[in-house]
Amino acid sequence: MLNGEQRPYTWTSADAAGLPIFPGLARYDEVASGQIQHALRFTLQYSQTAFTPPASHWAGNSMNTHAAPMGMRLRLKSSYHITSFPPQSQVILAALKKYGMIMADNGSSMFIGGDPDNRWNNNDLNTLKQVPASAFEVVLINPLYTPSNVPTGPSPMINSFTANPSTASAGQPVTLSWKVTGASYFVISPQVGAVRGNSTVVFPTVTTAYTLYGTNQYGRSTATVRVTVH
């Protein structure tokens, strides 16, 4: 998923909330630089069947109406003192005051995700367990989507997807072009990945069927074109 684009409503990912994992991790190199400049991902034991953006999916395991929706953002209260915490934890807590943390999945309550790195000081990080849930505030949840009001709409319309030339020698450049309405972003497989615009150049070495995926917040449409290599 390209930066800033939205996974379709009700689509999941490796995280139940449908969020990409890596951007929400606490990463050692960021902490070592002295600041984390993004929200962090976290988990709670229970969730309701609802989500709020940037989440796109729910995985409700509780009937309690006070259970959190996926995508809920908590922010550490500005009044909470963090100067007594050791260095690595201070950087994480400062980020939680500024950017907060977003509920990404069911799991251990108030568990923040981080990248594996043997340079972490676990004694330092363990002090984060001293921070009570009451030290956080919920950022406004709006909109809140449930099975009764999740948005629906048309998937993208792929009007054409072509290859020029459609027959080529091994390694010869081939231009893939498309005309699509209603798409937020595109992915082409195999090998190409996420693309913008209305065309891209590939260099097939064997006969290949390329598939275009056009996606918006409501769903995905596909089209395939074959390039014969001789």
Average pLDDT of the chain is 96
Confidence of residue 6 (pLDDT cuts 50, 70, 90): confident
pLDDT tens track for 136-191? 999 999 999 999 999 999 999 999 999 999 999 999 999 999 999 999 999 999 99
Mean pLDDT of 46-65: 97
Mean pLDDT of 55-62: 97
In sequence order, the β-bridge partners of residue 158 are: 180
pLDDT at 4: 52
Q: Residues 161, 141: contact at Cβ < 8 Å?
A: no
Confidence of residue 84 (pLDDT cuts 50, 70, 90): very high
User: Does 5 score more than 90 pLDDT?
Assistant: no
CB 181: neighbour CB atoms within 10 A?
11
**Residue 85: which of 138, 142, 124, 32 has the closest Cα?**
124
Mean pLDDT of 102-120: 97
Mean pLDDT of 5-29: 94
Which sequence spans correspond to the domains of the chain? 22-138, 157-229
E strand intervals along the chain: 40-44, 47-51, 68-70, 73-76, 101-106, 111-112, 136-138, 157-164, 167-168, 174-181, 185-189, 193-195, 199-202, 208-216, 219-229
pLDDT at 2: 44
CA distance 119 to 97: 24
Mean pLDDT of 86-115: 97
Helices (H), the chain: 28-33, 87-98, 122-126
Percent of the chain with pLDDT over 90: 96
CA distance 60 to 67: 9
End-to-end distance of the chain based on CA atoms, in angstroms?
Answer: 34
3-state helix, strand, coil in the chain (%, to 5): 15, 35, 50
User: Does 3 score more than 90 pLDDT?
Assistant: no
Kindly report whether the global pTM for this prediction surpasses the value 0.85. yes
Mean pLDDT of 216-224: 97
Q: What is the CATH code for 157-229? A: 2.60.40.10
State phi, psi for 211 to the nearest 5 degrees. -115, 130
CA distance 52 to 56: 7
